[in-house]
Amino acid sequence: MATTLVAASWLALLVALLPAPTAAADSESGPTLGDTGPAPAAATSVTPSLTPAQALSSGYGVVAGLVVNECGVSPLTGCQGQAVPGVEVLIRVPSGELITNRRTADDGAFWAPVPPGSYLVEGVRSVSSIPVDVRAGEMVEVEVVLPRLSQQP
């Protein structure tokens, strides 16, 4: 419990200090909201240039989290939930439509401002999606776990 609280506090502080993504950064990480085809009406008002604090005070919510590698049960694996930089994270509506995507930072963290609503969050190598409900002025924190890649001899 204390570990979860410390991690959540650390993540909240990290997101508060992150700069807003720039248009160049968004274009490098793949399609942006405007490129993904038809989206729900509320999603067209996502403003990627907002900082998390601005998004929270402007009627948006924020999805923030960490992407980590899955670890085996053996303590000898050496993984221990290591954060994964440079992973594309997708945020979709439950019907599967892409709302936005982000790349994780060097520390495995990501965040995205979204209108209030229900979403599915996934890493590109994820086995499953994480359902989240976002309210205006709320930050929802998630941990995306990527499956271990099989090691070849």
Any idea where the domains of the chain sit in the sequence? 2-146
| Cα–Cα distance, 25 to 117 (Å, whole number) | 25
Tens of pLDDT along 110-133?
A: 999 999 999 999 998 888 899 999
Length, in residues, of the chain: 153
> What is the number of other CB atoms lying within 10 angstroms of the CB of residue 113?
26
CATH architecture of the domain formed by 2-146 = Sandwich (2.60)
Give pTM, 2 decimals: 0.65
Q: In which band, very low, low, confident or very high, does the pLDDT at 149 lie, cut at 50, 70 and 90?
A: low
| Cα–Cα distance, 86 to 66 (Å, whole number) | 11
**Residues 6/101, Cβ–Cβ less than 8 Å:** no
| Cα–Cα distance, 13 to 118 (Å, whole number) | 24
**Residues 125/87, Cβ–Cβ less than 8 Å:** yes
**Residues 21/27, Cβ–Cβ less than 8 Å:** no
Residue 134 pLDDT > 70: yes
Residue 96 backbone class (left: φ over 0; alpha: ψ -120 to 50; beta: rest): left
Residue 15 DSSP label:
H
